[in-house]
Structure 1
């Protein structure tokens, strides 16, 4: 069965190469140029006809939102403020956790791995004591969702992976007392307002 699949794969590759060879050997028919056609562009040979084309940047088109009441608009503005308030923390968590994973992949000793995790934990705690502790309950809830959006895993899963199940359970108990849930996940369909705010925030235009 494996040899049969391999034979099919080679057949497809050879057929593709043959098609490309046929396209490349066809006589090229170029479009007639006008006196103002001075810009060099890419072209594709389509059965002998050279078709010029230019790659365009992605264009995002957003509809104009219609507010049904001043209260609805005010609620959206509050949501936008909260999202933009915590988005930098979510991006920081993403960069720091990715660095931790990269660092852990370079060491094999358990004590060295524990030190890397401890250093990351202390760095997060320092930021919490100076900045994150000032967040409101709503902002904290949004932050846990955005961490899941950026990392593809919940805050609970991150703590469980780096510090163990008991620590994750303990953190979750404390979080629930103050109105947070470390298991919050992010669904861009359900959170379409948050997703729209993030997409139009400029964070990903670099």
Structure 2
């Protein structure tokens, strides 16, 4: 299963400084220097404040749903970093492939990149459970905007996509499944918002 997950991760395969950080870094000898703006001839402090999202707590229908929520939190925390890595990797691969001429050289680049990533991520992906593997497939679609099947097909062709879809089916997964933040993945989306806002 981990080889399937790795394959999918591979082929699906700013920092901005906050105003608060700027204020903190500008402290010198007890004086705080802040950005300013001239409004009608007056110089006034002008500071951008980071957006704060308010996330309503999830209302559980019963204890069973509460237990499911808890399991999802664990699986999402484990797999979300990999899904976001996949988003970054696919951008890097696409940018690199745009600069490589010739199908032969492009295939060599993809093969070499796959080998390097496999060596780096083989052990971590081995530790994923089946449910975490299925979650990773969903989150890859969320982060990239394309299903794993579409991305594999684009980079490796229809036959490879078909073969990996067949393998995924054996493990109860579907590479064609789309992430639905308003429907079946509403709870997943809520958890991700909570994590991103430091509430979980």
Give 1:101 shift: 0.2
Name the Cα RMSD after superposition: 3.0
The verdict on how the C-alpha distance between 1:112 and 1:122 changes in structure 2, with shifts beyond 3 A counting, is: same
| TM-score normalised over the length of structure 2 | 0.69
State how far apart, in whole Å, the 2-side matches of 1:183 and 1:98 are.
21
Q: What SS does structure 2 have at the residue aligned with 1:201?
A: helix
Which of 89, 100, 112 is the matching residue for 1:107? Answer: 100
State how far apart, in whole Å, the 1-side matches of 2:156 and 2:57 are.
46
Q: Which residue of structure 2 aligns with residue 139 of structure 1?
A: 132
State how far apart, in whole Å, the 2-side matches of 1:101 and 1:181 are.
24
Q: State yes or no: 1:59 paired with 2:61.
A: no
Instruction: Structure 2 unaligned segments of length 5 or more: list them.
Output: 1-33, 41-45
Q: What SS does structure 2 have at the residue aligned with 1:57?
A: coil
Q: How many residue pairs get matched?
A: 164
| TM-score normalised over the length of structure 1 | 0.67
The verdict on how the C-alpha distance between 1:86 and 1:54 changes in structure 2, with shifts beyond 3 A counting, is: closer
Q: State yes or no: 1:192 paired with 2:186.
A: yes
State how far apart, in whole Å, the 2-side matches of 1:126 and 1:179 are.
26
Structure 1 residue ranges (4+ consecutive) displaced by more than 6 angstroms after TM superposition: none
Structure with larger RCO (C-alpha < 8 A, sep 6+): 2
Give 1:136 shift: 2.3
Give 1:89 shift: 1.2
Q: Deviations over 1:61-113 (max 9, x none)?
A: 22233434333211100011111111111111111111110000111122221
Give 1:56 shift: 4.5
